Structure 1
């Protein structure tokens, strides 16, 4: 609470109404004046630590839930929805949205739910399940403090037994859980990278996995065995409507624990700050892959020991994203389902294994420093299909100065690529790369002229 102010007026109002209290009655219970409580409910005063403690004591709720209780996900989440071209003619600023949430929190929440439902109409059930999981992950800002703490303690314990993490995990599985690890030829596991054979008490791993992936697979199994209670609690607390969402979320949390075991929080953050977040050095130091390190960078949000707020994307050559985490970045580049082809994230496929840097500027003049590199999750057999993705990391350019990758780059006024959030959401005129007009705009035609793009719209 000392690090940032907590404005949770809508949540306090819900607590009061659910208990059938007037503002006067609740103010008396919290030992504050009714006028002060009114200011809190209107988000004109933050919750102090003392009032938060009284709320928790008198009304029996988890204080951590306040941070996730803002209608519609809060001002920034509502702004992202209102960035849809459908609302392009409306001039809604941050102050108006704050007033809306304070004055009519249920209406703001209803709008958010309706927008999310309509914008996703026609999607497959699996996509809806993934969207629900993404929303839950972002609610936590992809930082699960209890899992991190448990993984860190376990990592310290394993280091005392064996400096080689993979060997230490294998020994722990064997001694404590009577589970051995066996590496099998691809002919034996032709279509699997991992299999748990409980009858033989074996964790069977494919020889296709590289050392980092083998360690991750072994750490994931240890998470299933030793962090089950914590993971079960998080899954239950998410209260998903679909079974598929629960499974996707459980998989994410298991992977989170495995990554935290390989890259323990305090040691990893020190290494990040000491190396300028040099990903290649971090890979070598922690025996991890590029994608594993990139994902871990989005999770560094421990209170009192925060890392830089990165976002991460993983796309294929068609531009489809299979992973995206906003973390604490609040970047619209993650939220958008479409991406601008001018963003050099896509050119990483032209230089496999090389780091591609880019400075981009959105239509609202915000600048983001991004890096990208191709990855191949696992080796393929000769003549077979080998998966390839581009993993991109990004950070607000104003915060990128500590990065080794950003040295020598003018982050504030240097050249930046002007991009949008996909053609349908972008209103930049005369873009030669444009493949579609912006949604919600009226097209105009002039047979006597031809611009850089065939699309011209009213108000341009």
Structure 2
């Protein structure tokens, strides 16, 4: 497989700006000519090995960040937006999207905002009878989508919140029941009583009585997690608000959703403190069940937390994580890898995550290759969330966790897989509209960049052929 050249002009410009250096001074420190630096900053030339070494030695720069960031996410999101039929045959080629994501990321985000506004307008017009007569109806981004994109483009790692959680966890024990008891004691010291009731909602806090009521029917790891959410809302109010101020959400609803999301982040980071989890993950080779037992967490909580271990200077394996419902809709998504999820709709039907519902309580392993030639080790498992009493509805999801195959040696789940055989890797995609595979038996709609031909007298796997 050919080595992909590294273009990181935006990262170089950003670093030079933070250092307060002119192009001339920056070029001198990197040991290159001024024209050469200019070409690299404008993505006319790839970043050379000499420059990569100079960045690390001269500035202590984490060079792994050069190949990561928003670029792949922006490209994936733009390709999906451009798959909208409104663009017809006028969608730009992939090379142009790469240039835009690298050289003009602000323009790319503006385009995505514009398409999102268009899509919401289209959907509202389709249900005009519902919208008519509603006061204060204004065109704003969906709060859920706005918050989702906030975490998406933060690489799902919020440094200040993560470090605050790690500091808070330091004196609370090693996890599980000990952690839960320590949290209850911490709340009691601050005049807050924790009560348990079968008829209570999952979590309810009475600020006047200073009483936190928890459902006694919830799973132990859920109780711990929910208590820590309340701790975040009470103890970390200033930190959460400051983080929200930087995000500049467009509505109070989005801000409220994001605040709860940050509290959830804090809770997970207290249950599984960053460095402690990173060391344990490396020791156990990322065995989700062992990690869940060690930290008193659920398998889903561990998988999600592993996908956030992207602290500069102490990064874990770049994972992608997703949670899918029984209809195939992605309800949670994050990727620190080159693989990006569809913004709208479900996941590729060839992913093993869909099969997890058919094999409860089992880990499914899959070797897969995306259309760009990148290969992954994928893991899937169903998760059940019982309500704790007879007759109550049971929520069922499937979770997916994966990383590039180059990290397979650090995964216990890769043991025994035939990593050297090309046919062992199943071809998967992201979304049918942006997947270029022409021979997929599960394709639902034609790909964006292919023309279709109809042959009434001939039928193959698809009812059309792709050119």
Report the TM range for the smaller structure's normalisation. 0.7 to 0.9
1:74 maps onto 2:83 in alignment:
no
Alignment partners' CA distance in 1, 2:266 and 2:428: 35
Instruction: Tell whether 2:346 aligns with 1:344.
Output: no
Indicate yes or no: 2:384 matched with 1:381.
no
Pairing 1:133–2:147 present: yes
Q: Secondary structure at the match of 1:164?
A: helix
* Closer/same/farther in 2, CA of residues 428 and 195 from structure 1, 3 Å limit: same
Q: Which residue of 2 aligns with 1:364?
A: 372
Where in structure 2 are the equivalents of 1:191-270 lying within 5 Å? 192-270=201-279
C-alpha deviation, 1:379, in angstroms: 2.6
Query: Does residue 183 of the first structure (1) align with residue 196 of the second (2)?
Result: yes
Moved more, 229-238 or 30-39: 30-39
1:417 paired residue among 398, 417, 426: 426
Report matched runs for 1:32-71 at 5 Å: 38=38, 42=42
Name the CA shift for 1:436/1:30 in 2 (closer, same or farther; >3 Å): closer
TM-score, normalised relative to structure 2? 0.79
Task: State whether structure 2 residue 305 is matched by structure 1 residue 303.
Answer: no
Q: In the alignment, what sits opposite 2:183?
A: 169
What CA distance in whole angstroms lies between the structure 1 residues aligned with 2:343 and 2:175? 43
Bigger Cα displacement from structure 2, 164-173 vs 443-452: 443-452
Distance 1:185 1:437 in 2: 51
Give the secondary structure class of the aligned counterpart of 2:333.
strand
Local SS of the residue matching 2:194: strand
Contact 1:336 1:421 in 2 (8 A): no
Partners of 2:175 and 2:221 lie apart in 1 by 20
Please name the residue that 2:94 is paired with. 92
Aligned-pair distance for 1:413?
3.0
| Equivalence for 2:408 | 400
Q: Kindly tell me the number of residue pairs found equivalent between the two proteins.
A: 427
For residue 420 of structure 1, report the CA deviation from its aligned partner: 2.3
Q: Is the 8 A contact 2:192 2:210 kept in 1?
A: yes
Unaligned runs of 5+ in 2: 1-6, 125-138
**Conserved 8 A contact 1:430-1:451:** no
* Alpha-carbon distance in 1 for matches of 2:356, 2:75: 32
CA distance in 1, matches of 2:372, 2:27: 44
Which position in structure 2 is the counterpart of 1:8?
11
Q: Corresponding residue for 1:56? A: none
Q: Normalising by structure 1, what TM-score? A: 0.80
